[in-house]
Structure 1
Amino acid sequence: MDDEEADIPEKPIKVDLATDELVSELAYLLKTTKKAVVREAVIEFAESRRPDRDEGGRVAYSALPLDERLALRRPELLRLFDKHGAANPRVLDDEYREHADHLVLLVETDLAMGGGAAPFLAEQVQRMLGSPVEVISATGLSLFNPAGLTRAIAESRPL
């Protein structure tokens, strides 16, 4: 630790048990401290997601183009879909969008959630991205409009 780091006050962070165990294992394997593991992980996480900055050094999340916000939040979105039994999210081409800041996703939804899955997921994604979102259930399309599903898959790309 250099002199500059020694002057920075430390604050504890809380993590779940599984994360603490993972950090402990990594610290042991790397022969370093848990603090160093967390610091390096946070730096790597931030560098891979931090948008370009303006002359003042700041960028408002809402000012980023939708595709950049989508890329920044992709891992969180995938976890959200998985948590709610949704799979294979796809981004539909621009022709499906009402405007540039509108997102349309095609997602395989859990049959147990019924018709409420798509609106629920749309609301969750909209909160994360700060833009209007429509989720189309690939499961519903496969049941009621197989040709529409084939077309939607052809006109989309994986999230």
Structure 2
Amino acid sequence: MSTERENFVGLSSALLGIGKALLAPSIDPIDLPSQFLAYIRPKLTEAQLNDLLSQYASLVADQQSPEQIARALLMSNGKPAATPAAKACRSIMKMWLLGVWYQPYDASSFKAGQQWVVSDLAYQQSWAWKAAQAHPMGYSQFHFGYWNETPPSLEAFTGVPAKGQQGASS
């Protein structure tokens, strides 16, 4: 039986197209999945979060591929779904990509459209930086002079094949 955290990582992986091992590495001092899960629980409501994770677990049990899972959660009749679950999924994607939570609907004292930076680490470690092969201003794990070298492939950052191109094209 999967844990709530494992289901959240699996759901996030299916939505983003980024491997589970990259979202939640086995050695991870930051542990963004646990931070994100705790952060969104009150903002989605416990019932909605449980329903969303149960829906994901059910789709996995039905042996749906990650692409099929994402489509089932995000789409309706070939168009973006307007359900609370689909809105929550889109906000989860934005959180992983930007480190910012965009409130998808009214829940308790949280109003649709509000937004918050989850944490400084969530912002620094957000996937938009990895996809852009960049880093936020004022923070870098790269060595001095790295900008003078050809960057690693996009696959090295995200695990997504970069179709043979090294670094960003100009």
The answer to whether the superposition gives a TM-score over 0.5 is no
Q: Which has the higher strand share?
A: 1
**Bigger Rg, structure 1 or 2:** 1
With the shorter chain as reference, the TM-score category is under 0.3
If the length of structure 1 is used for normalisation, what is the TM-score? 0.25
If the length of structure 2 is used for normalisation, what is the TM-score? 0.24
Q: Which has the higher helix share?
A: 1
